[in-house]
Amino acid sequence: MKLIGVMLGFGAIVCWSFNSLMINWGLKDSSVFKFNAIRTIPALVLLITFMLMTGKTIFPEPRLSILAFATGFFSYFVALNLFISGLNKGGTHKVWPVGNTAPFWATVSAILILDEKANTLVLLSAVLIVIGIFFLSRRGEKEADMERNMGVPLAFLAAFIWGILVVPNKYCLNQGMSPLSFLTIMIIAAFVSNNIYFLYREGFEEMIRDIKGLYWGLVSGIIALFGGGLFWQLALSVEDASRLAPLLGAESPIVLILSVLLLGESPTYKSIFGIALVFFGVLIVTTFG
């Protein structure tokens, strides 16, 4: 892998890992639908401002713009809400690992659909990362949760959608669409879909009711949607999707490490083993991918 691709990819993953903590803090004072709607606002303002100041074209040819909009809609609205519904309907220890198999589906879809060169070590790293996430997810599970299986199919569908969306993303970049344009149109789709859905469900008054929940949503939008999204689009523009996708698995162990350092959580032996597997998989793909 190219060093610049690795650095940009890890930059995105670090942003998204901190975002997991912001979600944890923000949802104490906000509904998940409000949080998802709020965080699109600062990201969209920053992206459009930057595009206008630099004189870049936001909307390229219609075909690529439609693909970018569809990617944002299915990623930030459809798949996200499927995963949230899965967490609500199933035990976290089962739903979380299934929902985090997206790196595997992204790797496979990039090889099969984009016709990127198949690499046995890249596929091995993706499998190791998924297994590692499975062990990470089993910390602190409760027996009472073991019978709750309804969320697993929803989480699987969300992960599959997230994974396969790397195809239109990489295709648009390969066709000459700028990373900034693609991300901006994605966030426009996220803004429209999430805010319409939230206003339909809860109304405008609820949007501004709690300042603390509003604050974490705004910070999440800046760090995760703008910062993390920009790093990831730049990484995809310089590296094959099949090689870059396994890096996404590093988010889970980084979140656990941050939870231990900042939230005082205690890791289990399974968690430590999961971290080792994930980082071993990441080492393989960054060294030999």
pLDDT means per 10 residues in the chain (289 residues)?
A: 89 90 78 89 94 81 94 95 78 66 86 82 78 67 51 85 95 94 96 94 73 81 95 95 86 79 74 77 68
Asked if 191 and 40 touch (Cβ cutoff 8 Å), the reply is yes
* pLDDT of the residue at 139: 53
CA 265 to chain centre: 23
Domain ranges across the chain: 3-288
Residue 250: per-residue pLDDT: 81
Residues 6+ away with beta carbon under 8 Å from 215: 26
Q: Return the pLDDT at 138.
A: 59
Based on its alpha-carbon atoms, the radius of gyration of the chain, rounded to whole angstroms, reads 18
The per-residue b/e assignment along 119-155, b for 16 or more CB within 10 angstroms, e otherwise, is beebbebbebbbbbbbbbbbbebeeeeeebeebbebb
Residues with Cβ < 8 Å from 256, sequence gap 6 or more?
136, 139, 265, 267, 271, 275
Distance from C-alpha of 22 to C-alpha of 25, rounded to nearest angstrom? 5
Predicted local confidence at residue 230, as pLDDT: 96
